[in-house]
Structures are given as C-alpha cells and as structure tokens.
Structure 1
Amino acid sequence: MNRGMRNVSGWHLDEWGELTASSAAALAGVALEERQPPTDPVAYHGRQGKITAWPSSSRSKVVCGSLRRLRVAVELDFDPEVIRFSGEPVELHWQSGRAKYRWRPDFVARMRDGSRCVVVVQPPRGFGPRWQERLAALNEVAHAAGWQVQMRSVLEGTQLENLMRLADYRFADGVDPKQEQAVLDAFRRKRPLFEGAGASGVPELTAVDLVYGLMWQRRLLFDWEQPLPRGPLVWTA
C-alpha cells in the first residue's frame, strides 16, 4: 500500500441483499443508488434520534438519519439531473495511522449523464479534523471508482417551505391530460398563480393542485423567493 493511502473498502448489499465488501475500484460497478443500507441505518453522524425515510418520486424508500438529511433528499428528488438515489447505501472502512474509521456518506445518486455521485450534507458546525479525514477517504474512493463528490447545504426559509409544499405533489397519479393542458395554457404569459388557475376553466381546487404538480415537474416556473401561498407570478417553462 502506498504511503498515505488509506486502502478504503466499502461494505454494501449485493444484488441479492447479502452483505459484502468491495475494494474502492470494485465499487465502480455497484448500483448503490438502488440499494438499502448495509445494516440497520444510524442516526445522523452517530446521534441518537428517530430514523426517517423519504418516499421518492421513483417509488423508492430513501433512508434519512435526520431532518436535515431528509430536506436534502427532497431537493435531490426535485433535481432533474438525478435519476435515482439512495440513503446510506455504503459504509466505508479504512485505517489511517493507528486509527480505524468507518463512515456512511449520506446519499449516492445516479445522474442523468450516467455518472454516479456521492452527496454529502454539509455539517452544521463546519469541517473539523474528523470530517477532513472522512472526506479524504471518500475522495480516495471516488477517484478509484470514478464517482463524483458533491457537497450540499440544507435549504432554509421560503425556498425550503416552497419545496416541501411542492413535494406533496410529486406523484402525478390520476391526472386528466386535458385539464393539465388547460392549466399550462393559462400560464403562457406570466400571471399570478391563483388568477391563472381560475382562468384555466378547470375547477379551482383541482387547478391549483395541477399548478403545484406542474411546478414539481418544472413545467411551470416561478420565483422561489416568493411564498407559494401568496400566489407568485407563474409562467410555462
């Protein structure tokens, strides 16, 4: 082993659901975005707490060890470049000097261009020595496996509130195509949300639901700094 190298291995479930360990290079061929955690999920970075899961728009269960990670999971679900993702699907094991480490990166995503990306939620109190060691090990694995590494902060304020509201409309089941098209047509020019919904000819409550669903799909756009309940200007993509 080269001096300074950590010889990181990754523990994960194989395609039959059995626990296995792979070298960093061998992880290149593992569809981690389709896997559940290798063992019982843990609370965020070892904290005690309730384990949550996000039912993604692709109908997969994404494990989240904290509310902060759940919020990032929603943002990943909304990202059009992310095809599928999972929470804590791999646990990295390595040794640096005399110290032994293990750590589960927050998410692994399959991107639209076919690449695989490891997403790490930025810690609330900055990157101390332990975090620097984790990221060094992750970068070593990413280099060997051909992964990207992406840091994500947690949305706050109005943008977070808007995203969480739209996430309730991520499953487009039972939508009438004619009503959907009527709502789209109503926003060929910029106009306030509730004005356009009312002008669509679709029953008002149904029209508003369709607007939110089309916003989740990015087929309708709006200013994210404006709260949705106030009826911001909306227009077609």
Structure 2
Amino acid sequence: MLGVAMDLDLVEVEWADGVGGGLRKSVLGAAARVVFESVPPVRRFASYRGQRHFTGWCWAATTESLVGFESWLERDRAMLLDHDRRVVGLASQPFRVSWPGLTRRISHTPDYFVRLEDGSGLVIDVRPADRVGPEDAVKFAASEAMCQAMGCWSYVLVHEPEPVEMANVRWLSGYRHPRNRVGTVAARLGEVFHEPRLLMDGAQAAGDPLAVLPTLFHLLWCGDLTVDLTVPLGDGSRVGLAAVGHE
C-alpha cells in the first residue's frame, strides 16, 4: 500500500466506448457508476512473430462473451473468475488510469474488472510472483489505494494459481457451456447428491454415466454441486449438493 490517501480527482480514467468505438475519459472519482464489466478492452491484444507471451480470447460462461488475455497466466485467472459463483460480470483490460508522479504522469491498465454479486467491483492485476519489479509494485500499490478510496471497489494482485486446483478447473471448463445442462439429469443429480457420495457412484445412480457425466461436470463448474478441487478430481471424489445461500 502507498500509506497515503489517493485524491481521486487527480486520477484520470480512460475507457473504450462500446457504442461509438472511441475513448471516453473522466476523473476516477466520478466513474463509479460506469459499467466497466461490459466495456471492450481499452487497448488491442497485440500478436506478432517472436513475441514472448501468448495472447488470445476465451469464452466466459458468466457473460456468454469472449474475454481477452495476454498470457497463459491471465487466461487461467479468467477461467478461475468465470468459475467463481460470486462473479456476475467480467471484462479484460477495462480501463487505463493515470495519476501525477514526481516528474510525469504514471499510467496503468489493470488486467481485469469484475462485478461481484453484491454489486461491488473488483480490480485485478495478474503477474508471476517473480516478475513484480519496483515500478510494477508502485503501480499495483497505487491501484490498491485508488480502489480503497473508491469505497465500492476492492483490489487484488494475483500470482500463479495452485496447480492442482487449476488443473481441475481447466477440466471442468470444458463443460461450462449451458448446453451441457440437461434439466431432467440435473434434477436427478440434485437428488442423488443430496447426501455427499463418490462421484462415479452418484453418476451411476443417476443413469448411464456417459449421458450423466457432462451434466454432472457442468454442475460442478457452476457450483450447484461441490467437490474439493484442491485434490485431483476423479471417480472417487466426494461430491455433494451446494448449500443454499452459498458464501
């Protein structure tokens, strides 16, 4: 943290106008009502021969739209956010902020803006733990101070995800599309897993596993069914019905 309060009237924010295709600008303190989770990226995702990072787009079930990324680490984070039940909106490279430095204005473009189910915003930067240099640290600390000053936003700098959990989420993401939810099968699985039981035992109890498993994995992706993702997912994983009024 910077250790000092940020004057939001000195912080400018710039974002892309999804209607006209141009850029809009405001002081950050007046931008709380902008629906940043629905804006296009403020800059292009460059792709060129010999580049050292991987850029692309992934489809998010939360928004039923494409979300951009500039590294595999960002792609994984987008996937984790898409899997998070608290997330109701997600945008990549949503805006650029700038503020006065000692000799010049400093600018920064956060990696993601998330809208949470309680209506608050979450600003996210993604960076490998061993690649946070002094200048980066200043920008990240400033971003955190800005979000604290906003009151309705929070900020987090994230690094590499836990590998086993990430591998499980990648697998479940293959079933994130709503087409995998078969209503009658989902209802049957809700009954079968009302009391926790082993994954494959429940699938067999609900019908033909080949027909049941896509819906089962989709429900695990959505969080309607729960499982411990910190250990490898498999036939012997213990699956249960999500509690009503999840946190």
138-147 or 14-23, which deviates more? 138-147
Cα drift, residue 42 of structure 1: 5.1
Report the equivalent of 2:183.
177
Judge conservation of contact 2:37–2:90 (CA < 8 Å) in 1: yes
- Preserved contact between residue 59 and residue 67 of structure 2 (Cα < 8 Å): yes
Cα distance, 1:137–1:205 mapped onto 2, change above 3 Å:
same
Q: Which residue of 2 aligns with 1:28?
A: 32
Partner of 1:95: 100
Query: Please, which runs of 5 or more residues in structure 2 have no aligned partner?
Result: 243-247
Is the contact between residue 144 and residue 156 of structure 2 (CA under 8 Å) also seen in structure 1?
Answer: no
Map of 2:41 onto structure 1: 37
Q: Between the two proteins, what is the percent identity of the paired residues?
A: 25
Deviations 1:124-156 (A, max 9, x none): 216432122202331343245432112333323
Matches within 5 A, 1:47-58: 48-57=52-61, 58=63
- Unaligned 5+ segments in structure 1 are none
Give the distance between the partners of 1:8 and 1:42, measured in 2 at CA: 26
CA contact (8 A) 2:203 2:209 kept: yes
1: CA distance, partners of 2:181 / 2:141: 47
Verify the 8 A CA contact 1:166 1:212 in the aligned structure 2: yes
Q: Which among 105, 127, 149 is matched to residue 110 of structure 2? A: 105
Kindly state the Cα deviation for residue 8 of structure 1 after the two structures are TM-superposed: 2.5
1:161 counterpart = 2:164: no
Q: Give yes or no for contact 2:114–2:123 (8 Å, CA) kept in 1.
A: yes
Alignment partner, residue 189 of structure 1: 195
Q: TM-score, normalised by structure 1?
A: 0.87
Please list, as runs of the form range in 1=range in 2, the aligned pairs for 1:131-146 lying within 5 A after superposition.
Answer: 131-146=136-151
Q: State the SS of the aligned residue for 2:125.
A: strand
Give the aligned partner of residue 79 of structure 1.
84
1:10 to 10, 13, 21: 13
C-alpha separation in 2, matches of 1:159 and 1:171: 20
**SS of the counterpart of 1:28?**
coil
Structure 1 residue runs of 4 or more that deviate by more than 3 Å after TM superposition: 2-6, 143-146
1:204: Cα distance to partner?
1.4
CA distance in 2, matches of 1:131, 1:6: 23
Distance 2:73 2:137 in 1: 20
Aligned to 1:234: 239
Q: How big is the alpha-carbon RMSD for the aligned residues of Structure 1 and Structure 2?
A: 2.5
Q: How many residues align?
A: 232
CA contact (8 A) 1:25 1:141 kept: no
Identify the range of structure 1 (2-11 vs 176-185) with the bigger mean alpha-carbon deviation.
Answer: 2-11
Counterpart CA distance in 2 for 1:42 and 1:92 is 20
